[in-house]
Amino acid sequence: MPAVACTLAQPPVAIVPSIALFDHFARLDDPRQSAKVVFPLPEIMLLVLSATIAGCDDLVEVCEWGRERLDFLRRYLLFRDDIPSHDTLTDVVNALDPEVFKACFMDWVACLRDGDPDTIAVDGKTSCRTHDKTKDRKPAASCFGLGQPPKSKTSLKVRRKKAGWNADYLGDILRGAG
């Protein structure tokens, strides 16, 4: 059966006619069969990305977050059929082309930055029980860096926490003004 022709380019809009999220995810095609689609892809992507920015770690938390903040989500899209179950979210997310999703996501995140970073925030983690004193082996550690906009005094972690607390701030991020 044919895949759904709907993309994120022209989602059903409730109040806000355009947000940066939809512009950057327009290349993402809905792989589901059109006769079986209950929840439009734009609604699913808005829910998943908003909840993830707000601090949700899995799709069960995403569903709970969406139910608690349905009024916020309806500022942007209709959500006629309420919030999809975590099973529906899992099926849809797993069916998306990962390379196209990655490219869309990276484009969207790039628009959130104010420019080239002046500062690189470095974070490191040490894995528990990976050392061996008898062999003089130190614990395994990982390190990664995150670029910060020059005007920003907050880390990305703090920005994520703030988005979870403040609907207006999360809305700014979705519109590309965060």
- CB neighbour class for 116 (10 Å; exposed up to 12, middle 13-18, buried from 19): exposed
95 and 38, same domain (yes or no): yes
Residues 48 and 125 in one domain: no
Shared domain check, 102 and 84 = yes
pLDDT value of residue 171: 78
pLDDT string in tens for the chain (178-residue length): 444 444 454 444 444 446 778 888 989 999 999 998 999 999 999 999 999 888 898 999 999 999 999 999 999 999 999 999 999 999 999 999 999 999 998 888 887 776 655 555 555 555 565 556 776 666 655 444 444 443 443 444 444 444 554 777 777 777 776 5
Q: Are 45 and 132 found together in one domain?
A: no
Non-local (6+) Cβ contacts of 177 within 8 A are none
User: Is the domain of 133 the same as that of 167?
Assistant: no
Range(s) of the domain holding residue 169: 1-113+156-178
Confidence (pLDDT) at 22: 86
143, 170: one domain: no
The structural domain count of the chain equals 2
